[in-house]
Amino acid sequence: MNIVALERNSAGTDISVDCWSELGNVTCYRNTVTEEEVRERIKDADVIIANKSPMNERTLKDAPNVKLICELATGFDNCDLAYCKARGIKVTNVVDYCTAMVAQHTFTLALALSQKLAHYDDYVKSGAYSAQDRFSNFDIPFYELAGKTWGIVGMGNIGRKVASIAKAFGCRVIFHSITGKSTCKDYEQVDKDTLLQESDFLSLHCPLSDISRNFIDKEALQKMKKTAILINVARGPVVNNTDLYNALVAGEIQAAGLDVIEKEPLEITNPLSKLQDSNQLIITPHLAWASVEARTRCVEGVYENIKAFMRGEDRNVVNP
């Protein structure tokens, strides 16, 4: 069986993928971006391992042997599921491998922004602390999480983990279901306006879809508290980046922490690239999922998906 991994380096070169070779003849490419590259590299593949590479009729039509596409991720918006199903190609993903790390990063961003860590770190390193005549400095006020309202969009595995941590900090937790289909009864479900108006912290954990795209836009930002902190560890286009920039500049919300942006990597044309104040905006390079442990679980998840397929079993199939 010919297995082609189009974006081997998305797992990190420090993580071994040798286990895949137990299942067939594996060809790994460091990265694959264009449709032309995809077409050429998969033409003899039986199994494709992909992450962001486009999987659609244009790229797959000349690859007659493909039977399985394994997403090296949870998301599968790079893949035309309807076309794959029509072709009899099964698509699998890896679930719940990075829940702990994404939740951890959510609070890393929230705490860094709310406690003004960039300011106080700079204050010490600049020599200002050494020059003062008192033992402490707290010239920019900061507040406790306890007693605040933590709003969540997307009450899946990650959203639930974040909710449990927020509750442990003493927060009131509310959430909004974009689809309206959530069955979660553990926390208070509210409409969008209530979510925006009452959240002191608002974290996004929803998949990207037509209904979640631009969920946070100019209108939404204007409904939020001026003291609110927005965290996006979901998908970049869930937040309109231009509208967020304008809201931050205008002081419509206090701060934002982003691990994802509309187009990655960050382009200089993205207005958010102009904001250099880390007390107001922190952007990390789409790494919330990428602890060593999480990336190892992701590679192993792909291995288990392929092995199950070889046994004739469905495991994590997203286009049944």
Active site residues: 235, 264, 286
Which pair of tokens denotes residue 37?
């590259």
Which pair of tokens denotes residue 12?
């990190």
| Helix and strand element counts for the chain (H, E) | 11, 12
State the amino acid at position 243 in one-letter form: D
Helix (H, G, I), strand (E, B) or coil at 281: strand
Which pair of tokens denotes residue 143?
């507040």
B/e letters for 259-297, b = 16+ CB within 10 Å, e = fewer, are: bbbbeeebeeebebeebeebbbbbbeebebbbbeebbbb
Length of the chain measured in residues: 320
Contacts of 317 (CB under 8 A, 6+ apart): 90, 91, 92
Angle at 266 between CA 229 and CA 292, to 5 degrees: 80
Helix (H, G, I), strand (E, B) or coil at 4: strand
Q: How far apart are CA 168 and CA 145, in angstroms?
A: 10
Number of C-beta neighbours around residue 88 at 10 A: 8
Q: Classify the C-alpha dihedral 258-264-265-267 as positive or negative.
A: negative
Which helix or strand (DSSP H or E) is residue 262 part of? none
